[in-house]
Amino acid sequence: MKKKLLIVALFSMLLCLSACNKEVVLPEDFDASTYSDKALSLTMDAVQQNELTLTIFANDAEDYVSSEELGFDVEVFKSISSGTLTAMEESGAPVSMTGEVEYTVSGINKDIVTIIVPVEFENHTVHYEYTFEPNSKAEYNPFVDKYILTQVVVATQLSMGELMKEAGMNTIMGMGIVFLVLIFISFVISLFKHLPGSGAKQQKMTAEKETPVAAPASAPVATQTASDENLMNDKELVAVITAAVMAASGSGSVITSSDKLIVRSIKRVSR
């Protein structure tokens, strides 16, 4: 039971928050009807123009109208024309205007008002967003408007599926560009070894010099043969000396075996 009451309370809170969000408190000196009529009139004039006229106004509006005549900057008027051209390219021709405007308030002092005028095009709904800010000249001149039009944004309202598709295409395109750049960088780095002064050839020559040269296979055999011959000559010499000593000792000698004979030194006797 407590869980059900908690769910009902949360649902009621969400409804209250959504209801509060829909309520927009406009500044006290902001005449909503006057400025909304102005926004509707500008929107109607823009959607009724053909593409040629919109192109001329988007590029050279200052040649035909002035800021004094419009009551706002000419660049804002050019943005209305260029935004309408873009909307026609994306959504087709304009069909109708609902006339139901919306308001949003922003700024530190909550004195910047944006009027949103929805327009139905063939494929999408397009929002004309007019931003009005306090006119600093109104403090000293009571004959000018208290709020002045400073910005106009023409935004095509895409569906969730279209937004996801566009986001996916942007992601794929971005990843593809990254991989192409990485491949290009790897290719450029691989070419560095062919540049003069890179040190690649010098390292190759150094490695070749440090590689040990294999000795001929016949050298160890020759060395071993020479050692064996020296060893045989030494044995023969020892045998000859031993026999000479045994003969010189005579029959009365106590030496009976050559195993007990120890040679301390050998000296050449001159004759």
Contacts for 134 with CB less than 8 Å, ≥ 6 apart: 111, 112, 146, 147, 148
| Nearest alpha-carbon partner for 101 in 210, 18, 26 | 26
Q: Domains of the chain: which residue ranges?
A: 28-164
Return the residue matching tokens 């560009």: 177
* pLDDT tens-place values along the chain, 271 residues long: 544 444 444 444 444 434 444 578 898 889 989 999 999 999 999 999 999 999 999 999 999 999 888 889 999 999 999 999 999 998 999 998 866 889 999 989 889 999 999 999 999 999 999 999 999 888 888 888 899 999 999 999 886 776 677 788 888 889 899 989 999 898 888 887 777 766 655 666 676 666 665 555 555 555 556 565 565 566 677 777 777 777 776 644 455 555 666 666 666 666 6
